[in-house]
């Protein structure tokens, strides 16, 4: 169904589809559980490929069906770009016809190069529209509250790389305290749902469309082909250079053979 055919008003849009992005240890599983209001996601300690699969769970909350996908395996530096891209694509396929929001889960006080690389990878795959659907969610808000620091004050002091991400996503961010239960947690989830609805209203789209994914997919393939062609050209030039060197070597060897034969003939005629 086309985006324009869907009624995107708060009362009619019956579900929110959310993709969680975050490294292990960022509080992603606890965040997913709090969004769903139940213990659905579990932290896996194994380093096997099982931890690299996308996992999703659903729940009915506050009159909405929530579909939450945990995108896993995006921070494994041993995976090739193609494998990472495939993992992301599988996660998005679960959220068909498309996610309403990507939630980048970051732990207060930490922003790693791997997290920066993953955002870069997502933007390359999905294009600039990815940031229109991105919400940054900080976990361990209780650490800030214990220090008497507000989330706004904390954000003012984050690294410039993270500030750039916040600017590109329109400063859509919030903080979760994943330790308590009850009304406080419900308030956090309601605030997140409000932000998801804001994305729908501001973008004029019910979800991150397949058209956008296909467009960014074509752009990704175009860039990949450019890199491949440049690599092939470089290989061709290298092979040409090697062939020229071989030909030059053959010419040199032939010249040396002729010189040797000439010297041998001269020596024979003088009787030496």
Structure tokens at 152: 């706004």
Question: Does residue 7 fall inside a structural domain?
Answer: no
Please state which of the ranges 35-39, 42-46, 249-253 shows the lowest mean pLDDT.
Answer: 42-46
**Are residues 230 and 254 part of one domain?**
yes
Farthest-apart Cα atoms in the chain, separation = 113
Q: What's the total number of domains in the chain? A: 2
Bridge pairing between strands 55-61 and 64-71 = antiparallel
Question: Does residue 201 fall inside a structural domain?
Answer: yes
Q: What is the pLDDT of residue 9?
A: 39
**Are residues 227 and 182 part of one domain?**
no
Residue 120 binned pLDDT confidence (cut-offs 50, 70, 90): confident
**Are residues 193 and 104 part of one domain?**
yes
Tell me, what CATH number does 108's domain have? 3.40.50.300
Question: Does residue 87 fall inside a structural domain?
Answer: yes
Q: SS3 of 133, please?
A: coil
Q: What is the pLDDT of residue 7?
A: 38
Percent of the chain surpassing pLDDT 90: 32
**Are residues 254 and 142 part of one domain?**
no
Angle, helix 113-126 to helix 210-269, in steps of 10 degrees? 100
**Are residues 198 and 103 part of one domain?**
yes
Mean pLDDT of the chain: 79
What tens digit of pLDDT does each residue of 50-99 get? Answer: 445 678 899 999 999 999 998 765 656 566 667 766 777 777 777 877 88
| Residue 12 reports pLDDT greater than 50 | no
Question: Does residue 71 fall inside a structural domain?
Answer: yes
What DSSP string runs through 34-99?
A: HHHTS---------SGGGGS-EEEEEEETTEEEEEEEE-SSS-TTS-HHHHHHHHHHHHHHTTT--
Contact call for residues 206 and 95 (beta carbons, < 8 A): no
Numbers of helices and strands, H then E, in the chain: 9, 6
Percent of the chain surpassing pLDDT 70: 75
Question: Does residue 5 fall inside a structural domain?
Answer: no
Which residue would you say has higher pLDDT here, 25 or 1? 25
Q: What is the pLDDT of residue 79?
A: 64
- Among 44-53, 83-92, 250-259, top mean pLDDT goes to 250-259
**Are residues 107 and 216 part of one domain?**
no
Per the listing, tokens 């207060």 go with: 108
Please state which of the ranges 28-32, 42-46, 201-205, 242-246 shows the lowest mean pLDDT.
Answer: 42-46
Pick the closest to residue 93 from 71, 76, 123 (CA basis).
71
| Residue 225 reports pLDDT greater than 90 | no
**Are residues 190 and 146 part of one domain?**
yes
Residue 183 binned pLDDT confidence (cut-offs 50, 70, 90): low
**Are residues 223 and 190 part of one domain?**
no
Question: Does residue 225 fall inside a structural domain?
Answer: yes
**Are residues 222 and 127 part of one domain?**
no
Contacts of 144 (CB under 8 A, 6+ apart): 108, 150, 151, 154, 175
| Residue 134 reports pLDDT greater than 60 | yes
The last residue of one of the domains, among 163, 187, 209, is 209
Please state which of the ranges 20-24, 194-198, 227-231 shows the lowest mean pLDDT.
Answer: 227-231
**Are residues 36 and 148 part of one domain?**
yes
**Are residues 196 and 235 part of one domain?**
no
Q: What is the pLDDT of residue 52?
A: 54
Question: Does residue 217 fall inside a structural domain?
Answer: yes
pTM of the model: 0.69
Range(s) of the domain holding residue 114 = 15-209
Q: What is the pLDDT of residue 57?
A: 93
Question: Does residue 270 fall inside a structural domain?
Answer: no
**Are residues 229 and 97 part of one domain?**
no
Residue 139 binned pLDDT confidence (cut-offs 50, 70, 90): very high
Q: What backbone torsions phi and psi does residue 267 show, to the nearest 5 degrees?
A: -65, -35
Q: What is the pLDDT of residue 4?
A: 31
């Amino acid at each position: 169904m086309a985006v324009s055919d869907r009624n995107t008003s708060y009362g009619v849009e019956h579900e929110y589809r959310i993709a969680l992005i975050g490294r292990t240890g960022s509080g992603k599983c606890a965040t997913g559980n709090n969004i769903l209001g139940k213990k659905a996601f579990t932290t896996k300690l194994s380093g096997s490929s099982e931890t690299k699969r996308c996992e999703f769970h659903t729940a009915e909350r506050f009159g909405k069906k929530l579909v939450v996908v945990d995108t896993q395996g995006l921070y494994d530096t041993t995976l090739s770009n193609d494998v990472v891209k495939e993992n992301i694509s599988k996660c998005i396929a679960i959220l068909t016809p498309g996610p309403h929001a990507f939630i980048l889960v970051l732990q207060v006080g930490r922003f790693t190069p791997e997290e920066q690389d993953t955002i870069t990878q997502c933007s390359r795959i999905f294009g600039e529209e990815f940031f229109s659907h991105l919400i940054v969610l900080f976990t361990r808000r209780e650490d800030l509250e214990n220090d008497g620091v507000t989330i706004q004050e904390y954000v003012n002091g984050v690294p410039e790389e993270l500030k750039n991400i916040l600017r590109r996503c329109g400063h859509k961010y919030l903080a979760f305290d994943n330790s308590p239960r009850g009304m406080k947690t419900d308030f956090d989830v309601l605030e997140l749902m409000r932000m998801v609805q804001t994305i729908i209203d501001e973008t004029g789209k019910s979800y991150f469309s397949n058209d956008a994914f296909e467009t960014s997919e074509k752009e990704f393939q175009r860039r990949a082909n450019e890199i491949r062609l440049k690599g092939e050209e470089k290989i061709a030039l290298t092979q040409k250079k090697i062939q020229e060197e071989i030909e030059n070597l053959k010419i040199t060897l032939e010249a040396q053979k002729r010189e040797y034969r000439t010297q041998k003939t001269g020596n024979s005629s003088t009787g030496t």
